Structure 1
Amino acid sequence: MNWNGKDTELYQQQKEYIDTVMMPLVPVSFSGDMKEAASQFEFIQLLTELLEKQFRGRILLVPPFSYRRKQEGEEKAAALNQWADEMSDAGFRHKFFFTSDSDWKLMEEAIDGTLIWVPSVPLEHMENSYKYSLIEEQAKQFVRIIVHKWQEN
């Protein structure tokens, strides 16, 4: 389910069956690494949208957690954990945070949820068919991870 009026209404009606939330983590920068940050957003957004389609009815994909690229790690982790607390309070047992920003790997233990880091692939010069087949291949790997996390609990 996506973060839109129609899907959130459906979520409200069926929330006892939807125990998983997925949130992309995306840096924002207006300096020299702006293109890299934008590419990471494009890649993670496409990946999480595809995963949402594959798990429709079991996962709620929420808007990205955006942060300043220069923001301190502890500050980012604390802000993300506030969201994680709200997600837990809302009944989500499983929280998946997807990112292409390797800085999050240094804070993985401090995050209340499952961090999934995937190196981004620059997509701006790819044909759409190749772009989507690449994203589909990436998504297959994460399907197994998500299902495994569900089975652990």
Structure 2
Amino acid sequence: MKWVPQDIETYITAKEYVDTAIIPLYAVSVGEDMKQSAASAEFITLLTNHLERQFTGRLLLFPPFTYLKNEEREKSITTLQEWEKTISQQSFKHLFYITSDIDWRNREVELNGSLIWLPTLPLEQMDNSQKMEMIDSQVKQLFVLFTQKWHENE
């Protein structure tokens, strides 16, 4: 389910079945890293939307947590921990963060959710069918990780 009114209405009526939250993490850079920042956001957007379609009824895709790449990471961690606290008060047993920003790997111990870091795939030179083939391949690999995490906590 996506963060849109119709899906949220469905979530509210069936939240006992929706135990997983996904939060995309987007680093925004302005200047020389702007194109890489946009490429990472495109990749994570396509990936998380495809994940949501695969697991509709089991997870809720939250809006992206967006931060400035050059901002102090403590500020981002504190805000993200607030998101965690709020989300964990609902029926979500599993929380996944998905990002292409490798800096999060050094800070993942400060988060309660599971961090999934993936390098940005170069999608800009691909046509739509190639993009979806590449994304589908990534989602199939993540499927194993998700089901493993779900079984750990049963």
Q: Is this a same-fold pair by TM over 0.5?
A: yes
CA offsets per residue over residues 24-62 of structure 1, 9 Å max, x none? 000112211011011000000100111111110000001
Segments of 5+ residues of structure 2 without an aligned counterpart are none
The residue aligned with 1:19 is 19
The residue aligned with 1:139 is 139
Report the count of equivalent residues: 153
Name the CA distance, whole Å, in 2 between partners of 1:38 and 1:32: 11
- TM-score normalised per structure 1: 0.97
Q: Give the root-mean-square deviation of aligned CA atoms.
A: 0.8
Letter in 2 for 1:56: T
CA offsets per residue over residues 55-112 of structure 1, 9 Å max, x none? 1000000110000010122221111111011110122110000000000001010111
Runs of 4 or more above 2 Å deviation: none
- Superposed displacement of residue 14, structure 1: 0.4
The residue aligned with 2:68 is 68
Segments of 5+ residues of structure 1 without an aligned counterpart are none
Give the fraction of aligned pairs with identical amino acids, expressed as a percent: 46
Of stretches 75-84 and 5-14 in structure 1, the one that deviates more from structure 2 is 75-84
The residue aligned with 1:86 is 86
Name the CA distance, whole Å, in 1 between partners of 2:137 and 2:72: 33
Greater percentage in helix: 1
Name the CA distance, whole Å, in 2 between partners of 1:46 and 1:81: 25
